[in-house]
Structure 1
């Protein structure tokens, strides 16, 4: 029996090690792809602010020297849009409101104090403790609503009759109810969307002065 338990633990440990190696290898590969994509974007469009999202990698950026917005489902398919053609930029957060039940327990302090006094009279110090712990409590169900984010997009309106709207997707779960906005999965996407939204807003404001 002991040998079986030890064997199961050994197999589990090996599986954990293999999983850790796979995760580290996958992270390293993704970092390499991102670095390569950043280098290709700079080679094609010059220095700028660039961001890539796997798979693809899809890319968005601003080539400051050329004064262009860069967008593409891959680096090879990336196109440039003149910053002068941009009319507005908005962040679109798609999600659902999820309601969860939460139980809140409150203790009746008056009942605890009374129980402690009675216990103290009848049983002395021990009774004081027991009586104090014997107070009544009330449990109530409470509904807590949270916002689950399914996608984070930057929607850009440009002066182009053929294609007036350009959209870059920073995050899209594709299925399920989504994740909290503060989660490690969604928060970086929102941060990047805010970053490029702020840059484009500055471009528009500078042009309108």
Structure 2
């Protein structure tokens, strides 16, 4: 075999192994998503539940005042009263955060300044960050449960995407209603 033949053979093997690993990962993520959906249904989280692409899941049962979370390492049902705070994080930096308590003043100021969207943005507490790309977006919950005081629900964790791009916009449309629901739970419980 010539050097060129060895080089081509190596490239083909590396490409084959890479594709195989990608397929195995995709099958594992699909299995995790299917398991999360089934667990949510079995526990009565049928009206408000979502399973994100990585397989982490979130559900809210307003009738029984509880939240269901599934991450890669755990499944837990949390009473509304145990929720302390909720935040959206991008690449580990808090983008939006709400704690138990009232953000009505911020919402009122936001509504006056910017209308309906301003009310949502104005009511959010926490810091913001400005970057052009993001590779991981999470919804983080702080709870009173000492066995599970912090839950990181991964909504997106892949190759970096542009913040102004289509995928980021779609992710935001999926995540923000959940942030709003969890924020409402903080307000009503």
TM-score tier by shorter-chain length is 0.5 to 0.7
Tell me the SS of whatever aligns to 2:91: strand
Match for residue 73 of structure 1? 71
Q: CA deviation at 1:151?
A: 1.4
- Find runs of 4+ consecutive structure 1 residues off by over 3 angstroms: 32-40
Q: Normalized against structure 2, the TM-score is what?
A: 0.54
Deviations, residues 158-199 of structure 1 (Å, cap 9, x unaligned): 1123332111110112x5x4333432x222222222111111
Q: Which has the larger radius of gyration?
A: 1
Unaligned runs of 5+ in 2: 1-25, 94-129
Counterpart CA distance in 1 for 2:43 and 2:90 is 31
Match of 1:203 among 163, 175, 185: 185
Counterpart CA distance in 2 for 1:146 and 1:79 is 33
Deviations, residues 9-29 of structure 1 (Å, cap 9, x unaligned): xxxxxxxxxxxxxxxxx9xxx
How many pairs were matched up?
125
Match for residue 51 of structure 1? 50
Counterpart CA distance in 2 for 1:34 and 1:161 is 27
Q: CA deviation at 1:89?
A: 0.7
Counterpart CA distance in 1 for 2:147 and 2:36 is 28
Match of 1:155 among 132, 137, 140: 140
Q: Is the 8 A contact 1:45 1:66 kept in 2?
A: no
Higher share of residues assigned strand: 1
Q: 1:43 to 1:160 in 2, by over 3 A?
A: closer
Matches within 5 A, 1:45-194: 45-55=44-54, 57-73=55-71, 78-94=75-91, 147-173=132-158, 175=159, 177-183=160-166, 185-194=167-176
Q: Is the 8 A contact 2:45 2:68 kept in 1?
A: no
RMSD of the TM alignment (CA)? 3.2
Unaligned runs of 5+ in 1: 1-25, 97-144
Q: 1:147 to 1:80 in 2, by over 3 A?
A: same
Counterpart CA distance in 2 for 1:37 and 1:163 is 19
Q: Normalized against structure 1, the TM-score is what?
A: 0.49
